[in-house]
Amino acid sequence: MGTPDKIGGGRIIGPEAVLCGGFAIMSLPRTLGELRHSPFSEAQLRSRRVKDELRDNLMAKLRQGGPIFPGIVGYDDTVVPQIINAILSRHNFILLGLRGQAKSRILRALTTLLDPHMPYVAGCEIHDNPYSPICRPCRDSVAKQGDETPIAYLTQEQRYVEKLATPDVTIADLIGDIDPIKAARGGHELGSEMTVHYGLLPRANRGIFAINELPDLAGKIQVGLFNIMQEGDVQIKGYPIRLPLDVALVFSANPEDYTARGKIITPLKDRIGSEIRTHYPASIEEGIAITTQEAWTKRDGYKLHIPKYVQEVIERIAFAAREDKKVDKRSGVSQRLPISCMENVISNAERRAIRHEEKLVVPRIGDVYAAMPAITGKLELEYEGEMKGADHVGRELIRTAIAKTYDGYFKGTDMNQVVQWFDLGGEIQLADTAGAGEALQALRGIQGLMEKLVKLNVGPKESAESQVSAAEFVLEGLHAHKRIGRNEERLFSAGEKPQKVAEKPFEREDAPFRGRRPFN
Ligand SMILES: [Zn+2]
């Protein structure tokens, strides 16, 4: 079997062992005797607790430089430094934030700070430290087999246990219970240490235990948790045994639930070392970065081009919703809204491309409206919103998002010529299912429109799909600003003019009155 040198260069059981990959696994010690003469020596391991391990590996990562939690976007200056401090302080900590703020993701990412391989007594349900086993069967086994005691290993992911708190979680679920079947099979007395059925927490021994939505845990379960944090051990109901567990406890909660009086017992709150607030992306750019990372966009078959303004509109829907008084502030608007929306937008564009045998998939604003099913379910509405209906609220949010995005590109740009074309009776229908070739022909008939697309970096040499998407965005922008009208069938036409705008249609020199020009 492997020599110690083969594990991560032999000095510490640090992240460099990861580099050895499968080779390291091949050469890991398989017995307690081998373990003693490996980098997993007694001196190294005996007193190394999970929080020491997290701290050591974090310090190594900090010295290396680079991101501590790759894939966590927008928290570099806020949440991440606070988490680092909590870990360096060896704290149990809680993340407070609204839904869709990557709380679970951050907690799961903590596993990257664990050793790549953790040796334990093979077969032990609570993954006992071979040098200081706490359960009775392991103590017996080590006493009997000595250096021949078989050793097994856990990966980083296997050392993460997660539980969504609900009011019906029991002490038995969390900590453990008597297992009468185990007792009968093994011929043990009920109450013997050999008959314990371990709950989630002992099974998380020497790992990370995450409880999401902590305030939903019943009071007496919170007391149980407090005991673990206070005494560092658990007592199993009716058993004369104590298990001095080694667990890093991390939690998440909605801030309002957490701070509400009586939801969390004070001594438990007192034992949570750090309280860290998460937040939604601070800028549209950060939101786009997260959505781009999370949404399923790399699909087979079709070439996809997502215009920047479509990304912005999708992101701004979430931003607008977070500010809208018709949307419930306490539950928040998850980042999953723009992510799901983006996926649906691409799918609607794919559907159009397949139907018209187009090679390039370019989402349009019309696809955003078609993505309503990915939006409405993510909004918890206030009374006023409920009265108006989720669809109505969703459409208003999209329109607000379009208006703001449009302003980013076209504020101060003279669009009178385009508006006039509609005022003179021009109409164009742009169904979200309309093929690019046909739609482009019709859009080119609108005086002054296509040359405006340079602001979107779209010229006449661009693909028809891109030109149509860009031109439609301009029309949607004008509609969002109420300069032109548009009905449910996506027929763009003259808007209702406020009185103060005096139009002089007969002085136009470039085009005669063109009447209705419907497009199908
Ligand atoms: Zn054990």
Q: What is the pLDDT of residue 58?
A: 98
User: Rounded to the nearest whole angstrom, what is the distance from the C-alpha of residue 401 to the centroid of ligand 1?
Assistant: 57
123 C-alpha to ligand 1 centroid (Å) = 8
Rounded to the nearest whole angstrom, what is the distance from the C-alpha of residue 170 to the centroid of ligand 1? 23
Contact (Cβ atoms closer than 8 angstroms) between residue 367 and residue 317: no
Report CA(152)–ligand 1 centroid distance (Å): 12
Q: What pLDDT, on the 0 to 100 scale, is given for residue 189?
A: 61
Q: DSSP letter at 422?
A: H
Residue pair 382/327 in contact by the 8 Å Cβ criterion: yes
8 A C-beta contact, residue 73 and residue 278: no
With a CB cutoff of 8 Å and minimum separation 6, the contacts of 465 are: 305, 353, 358, 360, 361, 362, 436
Spacing, Cα 176 to ligand 1 middle (Å): 15
CA–CA separation, 408 and 385 (whole Å): 28
Distance in angstroms (rounded) separating the CA atoms of residues 41 and 53: 15
CA of 26 to the centre of ligand 1 (A): 24
Ligand 1 center to residue 142 CA distance, Å?
10
Give the distance (Å) from ligand 1 centre to CA of residue 321.
51
Token duo for residue 439: 């739609």
pLDDT at res. 498:
56
Ligand 1 centre distance from Cα of residue 220 (Å): 27
Count Cβ atoms below 10 Å from residue 412 Cβ, excluding itself.
Answer: 5
- Taking the CB of residue 276, how many other CB atoms lie within 10 A of it? 23
**32 CA → ligand 1 middle, Å:** 14
Tell how far the Cα of 133 is from the centroid of ligand 1, in angstroms: 6
The pLDDT of residue 178 is: 75
**Residue 232 CA to ligand 1 centre (angstroms):** 17
Distance 131 CA to ligand 1 centre (A): 11
Q: 234 CA distance to ligand 1 centroid (A)?
A: 15
Gap from CA of 208 to ligand 1 centroid (Å): 18
Distance 19 CA to ligand 1 centre (A): 30
pLDDT digits (tens, 9 = 90+) for 224-246: 888 877 776 777 766 666 788 99
Contacts of 101 (CB under 8 A, 6+ apart): 278, 279, 280, 332, 334, 335
Using left for φ > 0, alpha for ψ between -120 and 50, and beta otherwise, residue 260 falls in beta
Residue 28 to residue 4: CA distance in whole angstroms: 8
Q: How far is the CA of 473 from the centre of ligand 1 (A)?
A: 64
Inter-CA distances, 221 with 7, 11, 217, 317, 462, Å: 41, 42, 6, 40, 62
Centre of ligand 1 from the C-alpha of residue 128, in Å: 5
Compute the distance from residue 38 Cα to the ligand 1 centre, in Å.
21
Burial of 60-94, coded b for 16+ CB within 10 Å and e otherwise, reads ebeeeeeebbeebbbbeeebbebbbebbeeebbbb
For residue 130, how far is its CA from the centre of ligand 1 (angstroms)? Answer: 8
Angle 473-474-480 from CA coordinates, rounded to 5°: 85
Which pLDDT value is given to residue 296?
95
Q: Collect the ranges in the chain with pLDDT lower than 70.
A: 1-26, 183-184, 186-194, 232, 237-241, 497-520
What is the distance in A from the centroid of ligand 1 to the CA of 136?
Answer: 7
Give the start-end residues of each E strand in 408-490: 428-429, 484-486
Q: How far apart are CA 113 and CA 92, in angstroms?
A: 15
CA of 277 to the centre of ligand 1 (A): 37
What separation in Å is there between the alpha carbon of 227 and the centre of ligand 1? 21
Residues 335, 340, 345, 351, Cα dihedral to 10° = 170
Please return the burial class of 40, using the count of CB atoms within 10 Å of its CB with bins 0-12, 13-18 and 19+. buried
CA of 144 to the centre of ligand 1 (A): 14
Tell me, what's the pLDDT at 175?
A: 84
Sign of CA dihedral 453, 407, 412, 448: positive
- Whole-number Å distance, alpha carbon 137 to ligand 1 midpoint, is 6
Compute the distance from residue 241 Cα to the ligand 1 centre, in Å: 13
Structure tokens at 368: 């955003």
Q: What is the whole-number distance in angstroms between the Cα of residue 235 and the centre of ligand 1?
A: 16
Q: How far apart are CA 290 and CA 311, in angstroms?
A: 11
CA of 122 from ligand 1 middle (Å) equals: 8
